[in-house]
Amino acid sequence: MPNDDHKYLLDTDVFVRICELEEKQEIFDSIIELAKLARVKTIRQVFGELRKWPVSLGMLKPYRSIIEIESKYEFTTEMQEIMEEIGNKAK
């Protein structure tokens, strides 16, 4: 079980890879439950990128208002630093 003190920002790749798994629905349902608790979020760009993966987009789109970071927060200095750190670790 994830530590209750942590919050997670998921990128496009996470949603794409989940849809490749047999247990995708169970995993996705858990992510949505965490999103309802504000423990998991994603950024607006993910929805645009997921157009290439319609199954992933179809599963996520109904929950956009729950899981997407509000744009007024997405472009804060703190969020930009987090996204930059994620990008650097992915390289």
Q: pLDDT digits over 41-80, tens only? A: 998 889 999 999 999 999 999 999 999 987 766 667 776 7
Sign of CA dihedral 64, 74, 9, 85: positive
pLDDT of 73 reads 67
What is the domain partition of the chain in residue ranges? 8-90
The average pLDDT across 33-46 equals 91
pLDDT of 88 reads 76
Indicate the burial class of 69 (C-beta count within 10 angstroms; 0-12, 13-18, 19 or more).
Answer: middle
Q: pLDDT exceeding 90 applies to what percent of the chain?
A: 59
